Amino acid sequence: MSYADISLWHETCGDSLQPRPALPGPTDVDVAIVGAGFTGLWTAYYLKRADPALRIAVLEREVAGFGASGRNGGWSSALFPTSRATLAALPGSSRGAAKRLYVEMRATVDEIARVVEAEQIDCGFHKGGTISLARTPSQLARAKAEVTEAREWGDSEYDVRLLSSVEAGEMLHATEVLGGVYTPHCARIHPARLARGLARAVERLGVDLYEQTAATSIQPGHVDTPHGRVRADVVVRATEGYTPALPGLQRAVIPVYSLIVATEALSPSVWDRIGLADRPTFTDYRHLLIYGQRSMDDRLVFGGRGAPYHYNSTIDPRFDREPGVFAALREALVDLFPALRAVRITHQWGGPLGIARDWVASVGFDRGSGLAWAGGYVGDGVSTTNLAGRTLADLVTGRDSDLTTLPWVGHESRDWEPEPLRWLGVNAGLRAMAVADHEERVTKRESVIAKAMAPLVGGH
C-alpha cells in the first residue's frame, strides 16, 4: 500500500508523499526529535524560531504525518482530554492553574491560524466552532451539566452556550435533536495538509528531517537507529500511540484505534438538508465518541471509537480497517442524517491514538538526562501538540514563561497494567460504553453501566 492509500487526507494532501532521505549515518546534533507528527514538528518549529543556531534533527520511521497527525478527524479544537477539576487536583496544581491551561488551549487555536497564514499552509483552516448535539434526555442532561460546570469555572456565554432544540437544529439538521452546546473554539482543518506543510516549514528553517529512519532505542544523550546513532544533548520523544514499540515504554500509553469514513462530495442541495453552513465540527453526547466535519471539498467526514484494543499494545496496518466498525459508523451517520442513505462512502481508514493510564496528557523535560516528552492526547492532539511544542521549546531553551508552569508540565502517569489485565479492562470499557448508549436510548435515563465504567475510560 502506498502512503496515499492510508486515508482520504493522505490521498488529497497535495504532495507526492515521496519519502525524504533516511539518516545518512551517525551524526551529532543539539536536539534529536523522534517522530514527525504534530508534536515533533511543532517542537522543531518553535525551537528553531527561538534559537536559529540550534542543530535539530527529526527522525521519522515512515513519512511526516504518517500517524494520527495525518489521519485524524481534523478538529483543531481547544479540547483537553482532562477536566479542569482533575487538573486542579494534580500535585502542585491549583484551580487557577487549571483555568490557565484551558485559556491557553483556546489561544492555541488562534496560534495555529497565525502559523498557517505565516507559512502559507493550505489546510482549509476555518474556525466555525463545534456543535455538540443532545439527542436523548440523558444527553440533554449532560449538555446542561457541562454548561453549568463551565459557568462555575468562569466561562462566558461566548465560550460555551446552551442551545435550544430549534437553535441546534438550525445549525445541524440531524434527527431527534433536543438541544445542544456550541463553542467557537474550534477550527476545521485538513490534517495531512497541515502536517506536510509544517514539515516543509521546519525544513525551510534549517531543521534536518530524516524519514524512513526508525528509532530503535531512546537513551540520555542519543537515539539509536538502523542507520547509525544520533548523539544529542536533548532527545525529545514525540511518538504518541507508537510509544509502546520503544524499549522500556511498553506500558507508558496504550494505542487505541479510532476509525473514520468519508462520503463522496455532496451537492449543495444535500448540504441544505444537513446544515453545517459555517462548517462547524460536530459531535453529540453519546458515551462512545463520534466526531464529524464538512471537508474542504464538501465531503462529510465522520469518525468514532469502537474498534478494539489489541493485545499487548500491538499496532498493525490491518487494524486500521475494521469492517464492523465502519458499518456501525455508516449506520450512525444515516441515523443522524437520513439524506445520506443513498450516498456513497468513498474512503474508510483509521489509526492508533495514545492514552495514558490516568487520561492526563503531559509534557516535560528532565534537564539532568536531557530527555523530553509530550503525549497522551486521547485524540485531542491537533491543538494540544502545538501547545506542547511551544512548551517544550521554552523548557529546552530555558525561557521563563507561563507555559512552563501549567499543570500538565512534568506530570507522569503511572504505567498501564500488565497483560492480560489491560486487554480485558480496556475492551470491557469500550463495549460497556456502546451498551450504555443503547441503554439510554431505550430507558430514556442515564446509564448505570456508564457510571460504573467512567473511572476506567477517563470519566469522573
> Looking at residue 253, what DSSP letter applies?
S
The cell numbers describing 273, all together, are: 438538508
**CB neighbour list of residue 438: distance below 8 Å, 6 or more residues apart:** none
CA-CA distance, 94 to 90, in Å (whole number)? 8
Q: Is the pLDDT of residue 460 over 50?
A: no
pLDDT confidence tier of residue 452, bands split at 50, 70 and 90: low
Q: Is the pLDDT of residue 439 over 70?
A: no
> Looking at residue 227, what DSSP letter applies?
T
Q: 127 vs 459, which has greater pLDDT?
A: 127
Enumerate helices (H) and strands (E) in the chain, giving the number of each.
13, 18
Q: Is residue 442 packed enough to be buried (19+ CB in 10 Å), middle (13-18) or exposed (0-12)?
A: exposed
Q: What is the per-residue pLDDT for 402?
A: 97
CA-CA distance, 146 to 296, in Å (whole number)? 30
CA-CA distance, 376 to 340, in Å (whole number)? 34
Q: What is the pLDDT of residues 106-128, one digit of tens each?
A: 999 999 999 999 999 999 999 99
Q: Is the pLDDT of residue 241 over 90?
A: yes
Q: What is the per-residue pLDDT for 39?
A: 98
**Degrees (nearest 5) of the Cα angle 302, 148, 141?**
55
If you write DSSP's letter for every residue of 148-171 in order, what string do you get?
HHHHHTT--TTTSEEE-HHHHHHH
Q: What is the per-residue pLDDT for 221?
A: 98
Q: Is the pLDDT of residue 217 over 70?
A: yes
244-267: average pLDDT = 97
Q: What b-and-e string marks burial along 45-72, b requiring 16 or more CB atoms within 10 Å of the CB?
A: bbbbeeeeebbbbbbbbbbbbbbbbbbb
Q: Count the Cβ atoms, other than its own, within 10 Å of residue 368.
A: 7
- pTM of the predicted model, to two decimals? 0.96
Bridge-based pairing state of the strands 27-34 and 228-237: parallel
* 3-state class (DSSP) for residue 416: coil
Q: Tell me how far apart the 2 most distant CA atoms of the chain are, in Å.
A: 63
Whether the ω angle into residue 420 lies within 30 degrees of 0, i.e. cis, is yes
The architecture that CATH gives domain 3-76+191-253+358-405 is: 3-Layer(bba) Sandwich (3.50)
Average pLDDT, the chain: 95
Residue with cell 453552513: 277
Single out the residue of 366, 62, 97 nearest to residue 214, CA to CA. Answer: 62
**CB neighbour list of residue 96: distance below 8 Å, 6 or more residues apart:** none
Q: Is the pLDDT of residue 446 over 90?
A: no
Q: Is the pLDDT of residue 449 over 70?
A: no
Q: Is the pLDDT of residue 455 over 80?
A: no
Q: What is the pLDDT of residues 6-51, one digit of tens each?
A: 999 999 999 999 999 999 999 999 999 999 999 999 999 999 999 9
Q: What is the per-residue pLDDT for 451?
A: 64
Q: Is residue 323 packed enough to be buried (19+ CB in 10 Å), middle (13-18) or exposed (0-12)?
A: exposed
> Looking at residue 447, what DSSP letter applies?
-
> What is the percent of the chain where pLDDT is above 90?
92
> Looking at residue 349, what DSSP letter applies?
E
212-233: average pLDDT = 98
Q: What is the per-residue pLDDT for 457?
A: 52
Q: What is the per-residue pLDDT for 430?
A: 84
**Degrees (nearest 5) of the Cα angle 77, 112, 391?**
90
Q: Is the pLDDT of residue 456 over 60?
A: no
Q: What is the pLDDT of residues 125-159, one digit of tens each?
A: 999 999 999 999 999 999 999 999 999 999 999 99
